[in-house]
């Protein structure tokens, strides 16, 4: 009897120790397993979405780094950011970031100018700084201090400051007409990363363009120099040669320029050169290539212009230069005239040098006629 009791007791202990293999137990495990699978799928989906977003940002970075000019860089930013289901893209820059701000902005295509705003540096700091440092923002536009920088139709936005070497250069702003597109509390990491790269690249292209301008610009008159004229002129010549359109050249040389320097000084001579350059620039097209070739000599390359049109322009330039007055600058006695030679592309021209040489020779013939006229 006692032995049976111990056996039955042992059996009872074993039964209690066994796992519950009832139907409800199996259902619970299945339910937990399904919840875990769904959770893992959600995590994997989020991971894949983040990887895809980071991949797109990397692609934009590569394109920004490859940009050589401010126009190219802004085009990349605007094009890529507008793909992010947004209604407004604003690139805000501090005015002191662009030393030649107005000139650089006006030279941009209209489609890019509409997305770019220049604001005073201090005003930019006031609108973005929190606790004395620039921070990103996401949420309703009405909660943003610099909401005046957005289109009035924007309801929500995300802003990321562009900082380089500790300096606040500007910010990237994305806006939406939907109040729920950029809800408060969402992360701004990707736009912040892009803003850091954009700040670095903007600084690089501005330095590059400034150096390029110094290398190809005449410091006195502000127009192109001889190097730029022949480098870009050869490309223009090659296009005219390939496609067979008209190309003319004007070679200009001031008459009796040395006596002006000798009589009135080099300050007066510099003034004459500047005003002559200005009056010519007013008349020419944006597609024309105008440069100071050296001393008192200037060159003009005119695509899609035949010889008769070039000669008409030459006469207009001679009249305009002859009408220049220097009395307001205190040089009443200065009178200026210019000799101009014209040439046009011919089938047997081997290079731009042939075109310029004929224009130069024609200029000397015009100068000879001028001397005989005043002899």
Boundaries of every domain in the chain: 53-215, 226-374
- Tens digit of each residue's pLDDT, the chain (375 residues): 444 444 444 444 444 555 555 555 666 666 677 777 777 777 666 666 565 556 676 788 888 888 888 889 899 989 888 887 889 999 988 888 876 656 667 778 888 888 888 888 777 776 665 555 678 888 898 867 667 777 788 899 888 999 988 888 888 989 999 999 999 888 888 888 889 899 999 888 888 877 877 888 999 999 999 999 999 999 999 999 998 899 999 999 999 999 999 999 999 999 999 999 999 999 899 899 999 999 999 999 999 999 999 999 999 999 999 999 998 888 888 989 999 999 999 988 999 999 999 999 999 999 988 776 665
What is the pLDDT at residue 34?
A: 72
The owner of tokens 């605007």 is: 78
Per-position b or e across 338-371, b if 16+ CB within 10 A of its CB:
bbbbbbbbeeebeebebbbebbbebbeebbeebe
What is the pLDDT at residue 131?
A: 54
Q: For the chain, first and last CA: distance in Å?
A: 154
Q: Fold for domain 53-215? A: Beta-Lactamase (3.30.450)
Structure-block tokens of residue 113? 């100018």
What is the pLDDT at residue 375?
A: 57
Q: What does the angle CA 204 – CA 205 – CA 209 come to, to the nearest 5 degrees?
A: 125
CATH code given to domain 226-374:
3.30.70.270
Please determine whether the domains at 53-215 and 226-374 fall in the same fold group of CATH.
Answer: no
What is the pLDDT at residue 12?
A: 45
111 HSE (CA, 13 A, CB side): 9
- Rounded to whole angstroms, how far apart are CA atoms 327 and 64? 50
């Amino acid at each position: 009897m006692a032995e049976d009791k111990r056996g039955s007791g042992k059996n009872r202990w074993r039964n209690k120790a066994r796992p519950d293999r009832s139907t409800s137990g199996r259902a619970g495990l299945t339910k937990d397993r399904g919840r875990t699978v769904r959770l893992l799928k959600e995590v994997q989906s989020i991971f894949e979405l983040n990887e895809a977003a980071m991949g797109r940002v990397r692609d934009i970075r590569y394109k920004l780094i490859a940009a050589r000019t401010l126009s190219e860089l802004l085009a990349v930013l605007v094009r890529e950011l507008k793909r992010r289901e947004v209604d407004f893209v604003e690139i805000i820059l501090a005015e002191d970031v662009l030393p030649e701000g107005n000139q650089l902005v006006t030279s941009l295509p209209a489609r890019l100018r509409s997305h770019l705003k220049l604001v005073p540096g201090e005003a930019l700091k006031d609108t973005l700084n929190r606790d004395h440092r620039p921070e990103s923002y996401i949420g309703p536009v009405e909660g943003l201090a610099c909401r005046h920088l957005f289109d009035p139709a924007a309801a929500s936005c995300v802003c990321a400051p562009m900082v380089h070497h500790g300096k606040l250069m500007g910010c990237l702003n994305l806006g939406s007409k939907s109040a729920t597109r950029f809800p408060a509390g969402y992360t701004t990491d990707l736009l912040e990363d892009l803003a850091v790269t954009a700040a670095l690249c903007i600084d690089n292209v501005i330095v590059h363009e400034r150096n390029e301008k110094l290398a190809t610009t005449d410091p006195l008159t502000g127009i192109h120099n001889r190097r730029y004229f022949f480098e870009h002129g050869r490309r223009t010549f090659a296009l005219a040669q390939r496609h067979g359109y008209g190309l003319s050249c004007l070679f200009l040389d001031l008459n009796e320029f040395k006596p002006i320097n000798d009589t009135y000084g080099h300050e007066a001579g510099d003034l004459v050169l500047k005003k002559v350059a200005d009056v010519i620039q007013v008349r020419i097209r944006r597609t024309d290539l105008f440069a100071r070739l050296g001393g008192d000599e200037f060159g003009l390359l005119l695509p899609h212009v035949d010889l008769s049109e070039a000669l008409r322009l030459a006469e207009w330039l001679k009249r305009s230069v002859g009408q220049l007055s220097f009395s307001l600058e205190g040089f009443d006695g200065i009178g200026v005239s210019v000799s101009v030679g014209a040439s046009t592309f011919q089938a047997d021209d081997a290079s731009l040098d042939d075109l310029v040489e004929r224009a130069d020779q024609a200029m000397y013939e015009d100068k000879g006629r001028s001397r005989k006229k005043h002899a």
